[in-house]
Chain A
Amino acid sequence: MIVAEGLGARIGEFELREVSFVVPAGKYGVVIGAAGSGKTTLLETIAGIIPMNGGVLKLGGRDMKGVPPEQRNAGIVYQHGYLFPHLSVEENVRYGAIDLSFADALAARIGASELYAREVRGLSGGERQLVAIARALAPRPQVLLLDEPFSALDPRRRTLVRREVRRVARELGITVLQVTHDFTEAGLLGDVAILIDQGRVLQSGPPEQLFREPASPYIAEFLGAENVYAGQVRYLDDAAPDWVEGVTDLLARGHRAIEFLTGGLRLYTVGDAPAGEGHAVIRAEEVLISAAPQESSARNQFKGVVSEIATTGALTRVTVGISSGEGGSGAPIVAALTTRSAQELVLREGSEVWASFKAMAVHLC
C-alpha cells in the first residue's frame, strides 16, 4: 500500500508540493502528467532517492520518514533501464535477489532470461527495459515503481510484458505505481490514476472517473476530452423532468436537472455543479452520429454538418458543426466512432448528420 499525505520534496528549483493519494495494497496505480510535471521526482521521493521535506509517506503501513532507500523494499525501474554495464545481464537480474532460482524464473516469465548470454551494452532499449523490470522484481519488493517501463518495447511485446508484470504483481501482492504518457495504458492497468502537474496532484481516483469526470477543464483537455465548453449552469424549474429517468439515485443525493448554455448550444444534464459559470465536458466516445434524429432517451440532440473526418485505424473522429436544433448554432462537437460505422454512414465533409448524447454523458466542472 502506498499512502502519501501532503508529501513534499525539492530538487533544484523544482518542488513537489502537498501530494496526496492512496494506492491500496496489491493494486496498480498510474501517474499521468505532462513532461516536467514531477512524475519521476514523485517516484524517486517514494523510493527514498530524493529526500522528502514534508508530509507523510507510508509504504505497507510503515512511515518512511528517515528510512533509507535500501530499507524501503521498493524497486524502481527507470525508462532507460540503468542496467549496470560492468555486469552481465544475468548478474543484473540477480543483483538484489535473495532467491536466485526465483529471480531466474521471473526473468524467464518477463522474457529477460533469453538475454542472459548477451552483453548489456549490446541490448536494445526495449531489451534493457525487460532486464530492468526483472531485476526490480527479483528481490520481491512490496512496492514497484515504474517510470515508463514499456516505452521502448514494440507494441506486441508491450502488451505481453504489461500483462505479465500485472500478473506477477498480483501474484506477489506487490503494489505498483507506474508513470505513463499512454492513456490507454493508464486505463488498462490502473486501479488508481493520479494526475500530476507542476509538482501537485490535480486529481486522483479510478481512471474511469478521471476520464469521465475530470475536476477541471484543464484536466479534461489534458486527458484528451475533445468537447470542453465554457458556459452557464442553470437549474431547471422542473427538478425532475421525464428525461432524468434512471438517475433517481442521483436526484435522491441532491443532484438536479441542469441546463447548460454555451454559445449556441443548450445542453441538458443532471448534476450538483453550482449555478453560474462552469464547464461542460463530453467525451467523444459518448457522442452518437446518425443520419436521422434518434428516437432514444438521448436528451441532447443536434443537427449539424460534418466539417472534418480523421481516421486513425479502427477509430474515426468526426467533427460536426452544429447548425440548428434545439440548442442553436456554431459550436463544434467531436464524435468518436468505429471506422466501420463511419463507412456505413457514408460520411463526407459537408454531410448533414445528427449528433446526440445522453444527459449523463455531460460532465460539469
Chain B
Amino acid sequence: MRQAHRAASVIAAFCGSIFLLFLVAPIARLIGAGGTDGLRHLFTDAELRSALALTALTATSATALAILGGTPLAYLLERRKFRGRALLAAVIDLPLLIPHPVAGIALLLVLGRQSLVGGTLLDLGIRVVGSPIGIVCAMLFVSAPLYVSATREAFARVDVRYEAVARSLGDPAWRAFRRVTLPLSARGLIAAGVVVWARAVSEFGAIVILTYNPKVASVLSYDRFTSYGLDEALPVAAVLAILAFVPLFLLRTLRASRGVAAFGQ
C-alpha cells in the first residue's frame, strides 16, 4: 500500500515536471536568447519603445472600458434572476470561442468604413480602423468576457446577505454595493482587471485585422519576424514576454496574500 502510494507520487511529480517544463522552456528560451538584446533595444529602438507605449496605453484603455461596462453587467448576471440570463451569459462568453482573426473580421464588419457605425463615426471625425481606437476595440472584444467571468466569480464569493444586512441598516442598493460588496470583492476585481490587461497586451489576431499600423508590440514582433527574420523579432518578443510577466506576478502575489477565509464567516 505504502509502495503504491510512493509510486503514484513519483508518477505525479514526473508528469507535473514535464508539464511545467513544457510551459516554461519556450519562454525561458525566448528571454534567454533575446532578453538582453531586447532590453538594450529599449534605449536604441524608437519603434519598439513606441509600440510598447502604444500597447500599454491601449491595453490600459481596454481594461478601463472592461471595468466600466463589465462590472455592472457581471453584477447583474450574478445577483439578479431574469429571463434570458443564461443566454446573455453565453453571448458574452462567445468571443472566447471565436478565433481571434475571425473576431477581427467581425469587428471590421461593424466598425469598418463601409459599415453604418464605422461610417458614422468617421463622419464625426472618429477613425476606428487603422487607429489606436481600433486596437482598443479589438483588445476589449477578446478580453472583456474574461473580465465579466472573473468578476462574476468575485461577486459570487460575497454572500448576498452582507448586502441584505447593509440595506436593512439603511443603505440603498448602490450604497450597499459601494460600502460592502465592492470592498469585499475588490481583490477579485483587481485580479480580473490584471487578467484583462495581460490578455489585451498579448492580443494579436484581432488587432492585425483591424489596425496593422500603428503597431502594438505583438504586431511589431510579427512584422519584424516576417520582414527581417527571427534575429530581429527576438528582442521585441522577449521584451514583450518580460513586460507581460510583471502584471501576472503582481496578480499571483495579490492572490497569495489573500486569506483563505478572508470574506467568509
Q: Kindly report which residue of chain B lies nearest to residue A141, judged by CB atoms.
A: B168
Establish whether residues B169 and A135, one from each chain, have CB atoms under 8 Å apart when the complex forms: yes
Q: Kindly report which residue of chain B lies nearest to residue A47, judged by CB atoms.
A: B168
Establish whether residues A76 and B183, one from each chain, have CB atoms under 8 Å apart when the complex forms: no
Q: Which of B161, B172, B173 has the most CB of A within 10 A?
A: B161
CB distance from A66 to the nearest CB of B (A): 14
Determine the chain A residues whose CB is within 8 A of the CB of B171 once the complex forms: 70, 96
Q: How far is the CA of A96 from the CA of B173 in the complex (A)?
A: 14
Q: Which of B159, B162, B167, B168 contacts A136 (CB 8 A)?
A: B168
Q: How far is the CA of A49 from the CA of B171 in the complex (A)?
A: 13
Q: Kindly report which residue of chain A lies nearest to residue B263, judged by CB atoms.
A: A85
Is the CB of B180 closer than 8 A to any CB of chain A? yes
Q: How far is the CA of A82 from the CA of B168 in the complex (A)?
A: 12
Q: Kindly report which residue of chain A lies nearest to residue B163, judged by CB atoms.
A: A49
Report A71-107 CB contacts with B as 1/0, cut-off 8 Å: 0101110101110111000000001100000000000
Report A19-54 CB contacts with B as 1/0, cut-off 8 Å: 000000000000000000000000010011100000
Establish whether residues B262 and A85, one from each chain, have CB atoms under 8 Å apart when the complex forms: yes
Establish whether residues A68 and B168, one from each chain, have CB atoms under 8 Å apart when the complex forms: no
Q: Which of A48, A69, A128, A132 has the most CB of B within 10 A?
A: A69
Establish whether residues B263 and A75, one from each chain, have CB atoms under 8 Å apart when the complex forms: no
Establish whether residues B168 and A84, one from each chain, have CB atoms under 8 Å apart when the complex forms: no
CB distance from A309 to the nearest CB of B (A): 42
Q: How far is the CA of A69 from the CA of B176 in the complex (A)?
A: 11
Determine the chain B residues whose CB is within 8 A of the CB of A44 once the complex forms: 164
Is the CB of A321 closer than 8 A to any CB of chain B? no
- Interface on A for B, CB 8 Å cutoff? 44, 47-49, 68-70, 72, 74-76, 78, 80-82, 84-86, 95-96, 121, 128, 132, 135-136, 139, 141, 145
Is the CB of B15 closer than 8 A to any CB of chain A? no
Establish whether residues B265 and A76, one from each chain, have CB atoms under 8 Å apart when the complex forms: no
CB distance from B186 to the nearest CB of A (A): 8
CB distance from A16 to the nearest CB of B (A): 16
Determine the chain A residues whose CB is within 8 A of the CB of B167 once the complex forms: 48-49, 68-70
Q: Which of A68, A69, A86, A141 contacts B183 (CB 8 A)?
A: A86
CB distance from B20 to the nearest CB of A (A): 34
Q: Kindly report which residue of chain A lies nearest to residue B164, judged by CB atoms.
A: A49
Using known A-B contacts A82-B265, A86-B184, determine if residue A68 contacts B172 with beta carbons closer than 8 Å. Answer: yes
Is the CB of B165 closer than 8 A to any CB of chain A? yes
CB distance from B18 to the nearest CB of A (A): 40
- Interface on B for A, CB 8 Å cutoff? 159, 161-162, 164-173, 176, 180, 183-184, 259, 261-263, 265
Establish whether residues B169 and A80, one from each chain, have CB atoms under 8 Å apart when the complex forms: no
Determine the chain B residues whose CB is within 8 A of the CB of A96 once the complex forms: 168-171
Determine the chain B residues whose CB is within 8 A of the CB of A136 once the complex forms: 168-169
Determine the chain A residues whose CB is within 8 A of the CB of B184 once the complex forms: 84-86
Q: How far is the CA of A86 from the CA of B181 in the complex (A)?
A: 10
Q: Kindly report which residue of chain A lies nearest to residue B262, judged by CB atoms.
A: A85
Determine the chain A residues whose CB is within 8 A of the CB of B164 once the complex forms: 44, 47, 49, 69, 76, 82
Determine the chain A residues whose CB is within 8 A of the CB of B180 once the complex forms: 84
Beyond A69-B164, A74-B168, 10 additional contacts (C-beta under 8 Å) are A48-B168, A49-B168, A70-B167, A70-B171, A75-B169, A76-B165, A84-B184, A121-B261, A121-B262, A141-B168
Determine the chain B residues whose CB is within 8 A of the CB of A121 once the complex forms: 259, 261-262
Q: Kindly report which residue of chain B lies nearest to residue A81, judged by CB atoms.
A: B265
Establish whether residues A82 and B173, one from each chain, have CB atoms under 8 Å apart when the complex forms: no
Q: What are the 5 tightest A-B residue pairs by CB atom distance, in nearest-first order?
A: A96-B169, A69-B167, A49-B164, A76-B168, A80-B265
Q: How far is the CA of A84 from the CA of B166 in the complex (A)?
A: 9
CB distance from A81 to the nearest CB of B (A): 7
CB distance from A119 to the nearest CB of B (A): 11
Establish whether residues B162 and A139, one from each chain, have CB atoms under 8 Å apart when the complex forms: no
Q: Which of B165, B171, B263, B265 has the most CB of A within 10 A?
A: B165
Q: How far is the CA of A76 from the CA of B169 in the complex (A)?
A: 8
Determine the chain A residues whose CB is within 8 A of the CB of B161 once the complex forms: 78, 82
Determine the chain A residues whose CB is within 8 A of the CB of B172 once the complex forms: 68, 70
Determine the chain A residues whose CB is within 8 A of the CB of B183 once the complex forms: 86
Establish whether residues A95 and B166, one from each chain, have CB atoms under 8 Å apart when the complex forms: yes
